[in-house]
Structure formats: C-alpha cells, structure tokens
C-alpha cells in the first residue's frame, strides 16, 4: 500500500546532558520518512525555505523516499526549533520556535500522490491536517499526530480531525490533557469515542499502550542506556509502525501490534545519536537484528 506522510521539515538546535547539535536536520516528516523507508516506500509532502541546505537531502539517498512533494519556497525561511532535554530526557523543553514557512500556506499534495492508501498526518494545525487529507482521493487507513498546543487552543478543530481519521498517536500527557482523565487506560477509551478506532498512547521510555477496537495492549520500549538525543523518537516510532502497516495492507489489532514492535525498534535507533544519524545507521540488517532481540525479550517462557 502506498504510504504518504505530511509534516514538518526543519533545522534543529538541540541540547542534551550528553552534548549539543546546532543547525542540524530535523522535522517530523523527516524522522518519519527515514524510519518508514526501512519497511515501505514513502511519499513525503512538506515545505522548506530557500535557506534549506541542499546537502541535508543526502539523508534520503538510497532510501525509497519519493521527494516530489517536497516544495522549496522562494523568499521563505525553513522552520527552526531550538530545544533542550534535562534529567531523564523524557520531555523536551522548547527554547525557541521559528515557524517561518510553516506559518504560511500548506504545501500541495502532488497529483501523483493522490492515490495514496495509507496516510500519516504528522503534527500540525488540525484544520491543515484535514486540508491535506482532502487532497487524497480514497485513503484506506489514516492516522494523525497532534500536540498539547492544538488540544489547548483549537480543541474543536482537533475534534473534527479526530472524527475524520482511523487512528491517532499522541503521548501520555497529551492523552490526559485531551480527555481530562488521569488513568491512561480510560483516556484511550475516551479518545476512541471521539472517532478513531485505533489510539496509540506513547509513554517515552515506558513504551506505549494501544487501543484497537475492543483490544488494549501495552508494549515496553527497547531498553537502551545510550540515549543521546530523544528528538524525533515519536516520529520515528510512527514511521516504523506505519511503514510496516503499509507493507502489510492490514490494520487489525495483531497487525498494529506487529507494527508497534517495528516502531519501537525504529525509535530505539533514532535516540542513539543526534539528528538523523541514528536512523541512518539502521541498515535493514541492523533493524532486523534488533527486532529479533526485542522479540526475544518479550518471550517469557
């Protein structure tokens, strides 16, 4: 199944307890695409300014990522994010955001991408998510991401988006904020009632809990003490998960769980180095080997 992602492409500056990276490649659609491309071809839709360093595109070389939906807008500047992680690095502290081109009109979905069957709407304004979705003719499986900002400021718009998708991924704090329910297992059920039959709540180092129809399952993160930079972990998770679902063409609970295992492994690579370096190291062989390790961990007999 053809997989389309729309999301941000940005230039990040990141500080963590282990070091700092300045003016490096980032953005939800970039992490997502690189992770998903390990399992499925990807169609990327996003926009950058004319200040975007051309050499950043090297990260996509050799991966089945179709860049026809990547617009370089003249006279505009690329989205920039400056963040910091402290302590257990479970949450980023935003020091500065320059929306730049992300504050302008959305990029267009190329006509050639209009037949995409699996769609991931990475985090952006919920109205924009629907506008992008409207450009895809007959998607089979649509999943969106969101964030605390939209839950707080555009709740009604977000509810309309949730009613239009098959699934949503969000983190534990966002799930609690959206539902005002402190128990995650109840929060997930409430979100299902808002529309999506598939809800995935990410818990950082604690793994995730997934709701697919009646089914509720939890899986742990891949345990690694080498956390260098958590940026993009959630998008890499979504990429691994959606890439596998697109390759499978099935979206039942068992398929979702197998996909979550791939997402977990993708995220574990992403956090081992700054920017996209961890995901670049994830060759097909390295990915399969870690997936095997993860499965071995989950075998309790």
Q: Which residues bind a second copy (CB under 8 A)?
A: 87-89, 182-186, 189, 203, 205-207, 209, 216-221, 223-225, 227, 257-258, 260-261, 294-295, 297-301
Instruction: Give 80's Cβ-side CA count (13 Å radius).
Output: 15
Question: What's the min distance (Å) between Cβ of 184 and a second copy?
Answer: 7
Can you name the residues that pair with 65 across neighbouring β-strands? Answer: 42
Q: Which is nearer to a second copy, 111 or 225 (CB)?
A: 225
Q: Which is nearer to a second copy, 105 or 250 (CB)?
A: 250
Question: What's the min distance (Å) between Cβ of 271 and a second copy?
Answer: 12
- The single residue listed with the structure tokens 């959630």 is 234
Question: What's the min distance (Å) between Cβ of 250 and a second copy?
Answer: 13
Question: What's the min distance (Å) between Cβ of 16 and a second copy?
Answer: 12
Question: What's the min distance (Å) between Cβ of 256 and a second copy?
Answer: 10
Q: Which is nearer to a second copy, 81 or 211 (CB)?
A: 211
Phi then psi for 197, rounded to 5 degrees?
-80, -15
Q: Which is nearer to a second copy, 79 or 269 (CB)?
A: 269
Cβ-based burial of 223 (10 A; exposed 0-12, middle 13-18, buried ≥19):
exposed
The string over 205-221, giving b where at least 16 C-beta atoms fall within 10 Å of a residue's C-beta and e elsewhere, is bebbbbbbeeeeeebeb
Q: Are 120 and 151 in contact (CB under 8 A)?
A: no
Query: Which of 21, 37, 9 is closest to 266 using CA atoms?
Result: 37
Question: What's the min distance (Å) between Cβ of 206 and a second copy?
Answer: 4
Question: What's the min distance (Å) between Cβ of 221 and a second copy?
Answer: 7
For residue 77, give the 3-state DSSP assignment. coil
List, in sequence order, every beta strand (DSSP E) within the chain.
3-6, 10-16, 19-26, 42-49, 65-73, 79-85, 92-98, 118-121, 141-145, 167-171, 198-202, 208-212, 215-219
Report the Cα 225 to chain-centroid distance in Å: 22
Distance CA 220, CA 209 (A): 9
Who's near 280: CB < 8 A, 6+ residues apart?
A: 34, 59
Q: Which is nearer to a second copy, 65 or 228 (CB)?
A: 228
**DSSP assignment of 193-217:** HTS-SEEEEE-GGG-EEEEETTEEE
Q: Which is nearer to a second copy, 46 or 239 (CB)?
A: 239
Question: What's the min distance (Å) between Cβ of 274 and a second copy?
Answer: 17
């Amino acid at each position: 199944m053809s997989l389309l992602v729309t999301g941000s492409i940005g230039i990040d500056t990141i500080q963590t307890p282990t070091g700092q990276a300045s003016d490096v490649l980032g953005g939800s659609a970039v992490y997502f695409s690189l992770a998903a491309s390990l399992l499925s071809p990807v169609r990327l839709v996003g926009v950058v300014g004319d200040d975007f360093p051309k050499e950043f595109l090297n990260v996509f070389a050799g991966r089945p990522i179709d860049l026809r939906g990547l617009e370089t807008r003249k006279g505009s500047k690329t989205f920039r994010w400056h963040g910091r992680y402290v302590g257990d690095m479970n949450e980023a502290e935003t020091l500065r955001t320059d929306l730049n081109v992300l504050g302008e009109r959305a990029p267009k979905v190329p006509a050639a991408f209009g037949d995409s069957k699996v769609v991931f709407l990475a985090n952006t304004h919920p109205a924009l998510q629907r506008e992008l979705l409207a450009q895809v003719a007959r998607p089979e499986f649509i999943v969106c991401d969101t964030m605390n900002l939209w839950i707080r400021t555009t709740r009604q718009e977000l509810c309309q988006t949730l009613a239009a998708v098959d699934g949503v991924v969000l983190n534990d704090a966002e799930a609690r904020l959206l539902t005002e329910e402190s128990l995650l297992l109840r929060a997930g059920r409430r979100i299902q009632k808002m529309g999506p039959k598939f809800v995935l709540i990410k818990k950082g180092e604690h793994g995730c809990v997934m709701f697919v129809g009646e089914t509720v399952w939890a899986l742990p993160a891949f345990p690694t003490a080498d956390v260098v930079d958590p940026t993009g972990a959630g998008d890499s998770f979504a990429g691994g998960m959606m890439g596998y679902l697109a390759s499978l063409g099935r979206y039942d609970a068992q398929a979702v769980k197998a996909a979550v295992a791939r997402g977990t492994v993708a995220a574990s690579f992403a956090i081992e180095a700054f920017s996209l370096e961890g995901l670049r190291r994830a060759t097909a062989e390295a990915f399969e080997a870690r997936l095997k390790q993860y499965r071995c961990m989950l075998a309790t007999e």
